[in-house]
Structure 1
Amino acid sequence: MLFPDGHHGRLVTSHELVRAVLADPRFSARAELQHFPLPGSAAQGPARPAPPGVFTQTDPPEHTRYRHVLTGQFTVRRMRQLENRITEIAAEHLDAMEKAGPPADLVQTYTQPIPSLVICELLGVPYAERDQFLNRSIALMSMTSTTEDKIAAYMGLTAYMAELVAAKRAAPTDDLLSGLLDSDLPDGNLTDIELTNIGFTLLGAGNDTTANMLALGVFALLEHPDQLAALTAEPALVPGAVEELLRYLSIIPCTVRTALEDLELGGELIGAGETVTVSIPAANRDPLHFADPDVLDLHRRTAGHVAFGHGIHQCLGQQLARIEMTVALPALFARFPTLRLDVAPGAVRTRDDMLIYGVHELPVTWDVS
């Protein structure tokens, strides 16, 4: 395939080969080696090394160093401890929806505020300041933003996070960012620049992804009433249903890796320096791995889906995202059993212009007793 910057690379779509690429250390995630297949990427100029702390665009041993510190903050136990708080947050927003009455934009009233508030509390970001990152995150994720807009958004976000890191150093609180101040690494603690970029990365990754999974998940269930009925009738089905929605929707379109040496992949020679685009949606709908992959089936066995990636770069916050979906989806339909779209499905504006797929708004209504 031809990339916007003129690079000739490959597209990988099979489930088997996608997992192979993401698990193979001969494929690099380093930012300076990548070419991107998305519109407008060529206008941003040659790729540069990731700033210190942007662990998603590094390889071992640098990536291992960051991952080691962060894994201690994202334990399954700690994520499960957040479940009660997530339940409270969901209930508060459902109360507000019920009080305001129908109709509502579910994105603004429910699916966006929940992960925003959770990630703010986790990192120690005052929720009242969420607009400091929400609007700028949208500019960064938009494929129609100009290079100047993206730079301005990035500079604004990092400046805000740098101020927050300084505040945590002056007066640590009980949050993840404060917990990283004393990281006890062999080569010393994380620097302010590293902490700023780690916070920036987590803030973006922990908000937009889950917000769009929730909104798109509701949309999918409303469009499949038989599956929604199964979800509401079988509480034990919820965890598996979340996995199926993750597989079926696959809101991350792709990721890229670059070969560090000549190698063979699926019988094809990949040359050193060649960038491979890995299609997450195609892998999650590979008929060789998932029977009837285009069918939403909440009873499906979804083992091996790659919605959170695979290998050493598998999503750090995946357990948090699972818990948010496991709490928020059943709570919504339990409170509003007659919930339905307030527009025709084709009138729902999808995020075809964004790096993370979802919906811009989700107009819904329900019966008031």
Structure 2
Amino acid sequence: MTESNLSLAGLPVTRPAGCPFDPPEELARLREQQPLSRMVFPDGHVGWLVTSHALLRAVLADTRFSSRHELLHSPLPGAASMERTPPAPPGLFIGMDAPDHTRYRSLLTGKFTVRRMRLLTERVEEITTEHLDAMERHGPPVDLMEAFARPIPALVICELLGVSFADRESFQRHVATVNDLDATPEEVQGAFVALQEYLHELVLAKRAKPTDDLLSDIADGDLTDEELTNIGVLLLGGGFDTTANMLALGTFALLRHPGQLAALRADPGLTDQAVEELLRYLSITHTGMRTALEDVELDGHLIRAGECVALSVQAANRDPEKFADPDTLDLHRKAVGHVSFGHGVHQCLGQQLARVEMRVAYPALISRFPTLRLAVPPEEVPLRTDSDIYGVHRLPVTWDKA
């Protein structure tokens, strides 16, 4: 067991020129030569970076590594200016370990079953059709992010939680600020507080007059208003931003791979497989983190208690030890085992909802607009490199009117 010499001044973040879907090239070199590397985090903390699929899953499955917010160090650029995160408030369970995490998650697990999400499919289909109709009425060109990718998951999560869709612009703006790496600490905190205030008012309304939605469902229990508020913030924040960027960036990727697009259009039965492959290939939630609670031996190295481990999801999902020809988008691939939704006890609670939305939206879009194409050169599509969720800020598209 050894302690590795320091090798990285920071997380590799520069993607190869002209390849908006590929991870930074340095990650592939590290994965091959040194999949567990010493790294300096932006705040000066000296921790580690994991780039292999096997090691990333090992860390996520090991309870000796913590998700507690106050123990984590962000590896993302811009984190140096941020104050250390305080302990997660009651209800914000992604920043907790067992038994607190277990208690909250067990209350919600039954609300996000595969069966329940499938029951939502019909409503997702209606919402998708409504937005495709609106696109057709508007005519080309449109920003697909604004016309399609963002409003569909926003409306779905609003209906699931019982949030007024009329308020979507406000909470979308606040969620975007929370995820914005260029936002100041004051701006991030202000946006988070605004979300809390909004959800607190909603919780009080659900307590007084329950409706047929998830928030009313869990309000009928012994959770405090503060716990319900923060659970609502978590579900609202996580319920649309990731899926919105998957819908937009996934469409961008399909448009840049016309052979794959044609295969999906010709065989809608390929949809489930295509969604998993796009999740693997794009890895929009690209970097996670955990902190060792005790000394841990991993891959022949000693990770000391208190050291933070950055987890490169995008490198793990392109690991040739797990996926053959991993840098190729292949919708016929069975991308079983990708880690885009994480792994272990913290695996994404809403993954089935995200899958339902993508399985409906992608084929509906490419079927309705068979001549869909970019309205600008691909290099002019503004990439979302300033967020911990990768994607595009806008996706201008056009098509031939009938």
TM-score bin, normalised by smaller chain: over 0.9
Q: Deviations over 1:203-257 (max 9, x none)?
A: 0101100000000000000000000011011111100000000000000121110
Q: Distance in 1 between matches of 2:44 and 2:137?
A: 54
Identity among equivalent positions (%) equals: 64
Deviation at 1:44, TM superposition (A): 2.5
Q: Residue 135 of structure 2: which of 97, 116, 126 is its match?
A: 97
Q: Residue 389 of structure 2: which of 347, 356, 359 is its match?
A: 356
**For residue 259 of structure 2, what is the aligned residue in structure 1?**
226
Deviation at 1:46, TM superposition (A): 2.6
Report matched runs for 1:72-87 at 5 Å: 72-87=110-125
**For residue 160 of structure 2, what is the aligned residue in structure 1?**
122
**For residue 210 of structure 2, what is the aligned residue in structure 1?**
172
Q: Residue 328 of structure 1: which of 349, 361, 374 is its match?
A: 361
Deviation at 1:132, TM superposition (A): 2.3
- Answer with 33-42 or 261-270: which moved more: 33-42
**For residue 42 of structure 1, what is the aligned residue in structure 2?**
80
Q: Residue 310 of structure 1: which of 343, 347, 350 is its match?
A: 343
| Matched residue type, 2:336 | A
Q: Distance in 1 between matches of 2:119 and 2:189?
A: 37
- Answer with 82-91 or 134-143: which moved more: 134-143
- Answer with 113-122 or 130-139: which moved more: 130-139
SS state of the match for residue 323, structure 1?
helix
Deviation at 1:131, TM superposition (A): 1.7
**For residue 195 of structure 2, what is the aligned residue in structure 1?**
157
Q: Distance in 2 between matches of 1:136 and 1:337?
A: 35
Residues 132 and 160, structure 1, Cα contact 8 Å, conserved in 2: no
Q: Distance in 2 between matches of 1:222 and 1:339?
A: 8
- Answer with 131-140 or 326-335: which moved more: 131-140
**For residue 106 of structure 1, what is the aligned residue in structure 2?**
144
The answer for unaligned runs of 5 or more in structure 1 is 184-188
**For residue 297 of structure 1, what is the aligned residue in structure 2?**
330
- Residue 208 of structure 1 pairs with residue 246 of structure 2: no
Q: Residue 194 of structure 1: which of 227, 244, 247 is its match?
A: 227
Q: Distance in 1 between matches of 2:399 and 2:84?
A: 50
**For residue 245 of structure 1, what is the aligned residue in structure 2?**
278
| Matched residue type, 2:203 | V
| Matched residue type, 1:78 | R
| Matched residue type, 1:159 | E
Deviation at 1:163, TM superposition (A): 0.3
Q: Distance in 2 between matches of 1:40 and 1:358?
A: 18
**For residue 3 of structure 2, what is the aligned residue in structure 1?**
none
SS state of the match for residue 248, structure 2?
helix
Q: Distance in 1 between matches of 2:207 and 2:137?
A: 41
- Residue 264 of structure 1 pairs with residue 302 of structure 2: no
Q: Distance in 1 between matches of 2:268 and 2:84?
A: 50
SS state of the match for residue 9, structure 1?
strand
SS state of the match for residue 180, structure 1?
helix
**For residue 347 of structure 1, what is the aligned residue in structure 2?**
380
| Matched residue type, 1:198 | I
Q: TM-score, normalised by structure 1?
A: 0.98
The answer for unaligned runs of 5 or more in structure 2 is 1-38
Q: Distance in 2 between matches of 1:46 and 1:347?
A: 36
Q: Distance in 2 between matches of 1:88 and 1:322?
A: 16
Q: TM-score, normalised by structure 2?
A: 0.90
Residues 73 and 179, structure 1, Cα contact 8 Å, conserved in 2: no
Deviation at 1:354, TM superposition (A): 1.2
| Aligned residue-pair number | 364
